[in-house]
């Protein structure tokens, strides 16, 4: 496939040996291109589905039970990582559970072939071309070629990192000299924590808290006046930032856990609209969104984490 001339790969820092060993064997994979074309396009005015069915599917009894088992199995290591990074043990486990069902479902596509095919097809050439080059650099770093298996879109391992993320943030959690996020639970958890640390996780602060909202709350008065340029439809559903003390003064109260410190800033999200479930979300919730910019995903990670440590 003619997506990259060998000279261009060499100029990107890929070794001649890797170029010679990988490129000649690459063939086009029509299946990954088909899957990419099937992805629904985001429509600005598309209706937002209900959160509750998603929550039931992703924070179910099996995932909670398996998460608690993983939590106990890796408890001493999780405690060590949390001491070093400030990222809660339960958050690491919840991300792992959401991404790959605790390492059970990690994808079976050959990554160099998949990424080369997607880059060649051209719809998102810049993204997939960069990830293809990063995959070759992983081989240069010593990752065995046969380990390079993952999802059709290039994510892999327990945390479902893209190759560029692996190069920046994957960590060796068990001291064997290799960041093996495919088979090492320790490396998977350490890498997730490193991602969260690099994204600004604040130690000692919850992701959010479920709350009861009074019927008298004037939602127009707390509507956010600005939104993030990254996935704006996700952020536009959040209210203005207020301190916990200010929310309490408005009659917003927690439903089932301790109230965070009064000076912590939070925004209100009612995923299914007024009168249903509601959450006050701290800056740490935005870190979960950095991992996957979906309110449903981030809420479910937080709720699963709460259940795992319960």
For 237-280, how does the pLDDT look when each residue is reduced to its tens digit (9 = 90+)?
Answer: 999 999 999 999 999 999 987 889 999 999 999 999 999 999 99
User: Under DSSP, is residue 209 helix (H, G, I), strand (E, B) or coil?
Assistant: strand
Q: Is the pLDDT of residue 38 over 90?
A: no
Distances (CA, A) of 8 to 3, 19, 110, 178: 10, 10, 22, 28
The CA distances from residue 16 to 20, 66, 119, 138, in Å, are: 6, 44, 21, 14
Q: Residues 6 or more apart from 127 whose CB is under 8 A from it?
A: none
Q: How far apart are CA 53 and CA 309, in angstroms?
A: 23
Extents of the domains making up the chain: 208-281
Which residues are registered as beta bridge partners of 279?
Answer: 210, 269
Q: How far is CA 271 from the centre of its chain?
A: 19
Q: Which residue has the tokens 């939104």?
A: 227
- The pLDDT score that the predictor gives to residue 218 is 95
Residue-wise pLDDT for 62-89, tens only, equals 999 999 999 999 999 999 999 999 999 9
Distance separating alpha carbons of residues 125 and 123, to the nearest angstrom: 6
Residue 96: closest CA among 111, 81, 115: 81
Dihedrals φ, ψ of 156, to 5°? Answer: -155, 165
Cα–Cα–Cα angle for 86, 256, 251, rounded to 5 degrees:
105
Give every CB contact of residue 157 below 8 A, 6+ residues apart in sequence. 100, 106, 150, 166, 181, 182, 188, 191
pLDDT band at 227 (very low <50, low <70, confident <90, very high): confident
Q: Do residues 208 and 285 make contact, with C-beta atoms less than 8 angstroms apart?
A: yes
Q: What is the pLDDT of residues 268-277, one digit of tens each?
A: 999 999 999 9
pTM of the model: 0.94
């Amino acid at each position: 496939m003619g997506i990259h001339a060998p000279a261009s790969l060499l100029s990107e820092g890929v070794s001649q040996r890797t170029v010679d060993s990988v490129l000649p064997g690459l063939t086009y994979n029509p299946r990954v291109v088909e899957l990419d074309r099937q992805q629904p396009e985001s429509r600005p005015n598309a209706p937002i589905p209900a959160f509750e069915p998603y929550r039931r599917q992703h924070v179910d009894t099996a995932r909670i039970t398996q998460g608690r088992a993983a939590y106990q199995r890796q408890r001493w290591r999780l405690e060590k990582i949390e001491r070093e990074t400030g990222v809660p043990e339960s958050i690491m486990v919840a991300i792992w559970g959401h991404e790959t069902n605790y390492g059970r479902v990690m994808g079976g596509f050959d990554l160099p072939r998949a990424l080369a095919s997607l880059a060649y097809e051209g719809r998102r050439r810049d993204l997939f071309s960069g990830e293809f080059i990063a995959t070759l650099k992983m081989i240069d770093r010593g990752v065995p070629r046969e380990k390079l298996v993952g999802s059709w879109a290039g994510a892999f391992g327990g945390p479902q990192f893209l190759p560029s993320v692996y190069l920046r943030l994957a960590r060796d959690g068990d001291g064997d000299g290799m960041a093996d996020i495919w088979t090492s639970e320790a490396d998977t958890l350490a890498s997730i924590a490193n991602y969260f640390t690099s994204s600004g996780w604040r130690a000692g602060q919850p992701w959010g808290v479920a709350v009861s909202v009074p019927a008298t709350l004037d939602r127009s008065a707390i509507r956010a006046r600005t939104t993030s340029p990254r996935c704006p439809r996700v952020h536009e559903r959040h209210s203005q930032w207020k301190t916990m003390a200010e929310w309490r003064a408005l009659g917003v109260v927690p439903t089932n856990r301790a109230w965070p410190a009064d000076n912590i800033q939070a925004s209100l999200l009612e995923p299914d609209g007024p009168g249903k479930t509601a959450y006050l979300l701290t800056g740490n919730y935005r870190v979960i969104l950095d991992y996957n910019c979906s309110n449903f995903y981030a809420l479910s990670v937080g709720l699963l984490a709460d259940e795992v440590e319960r």
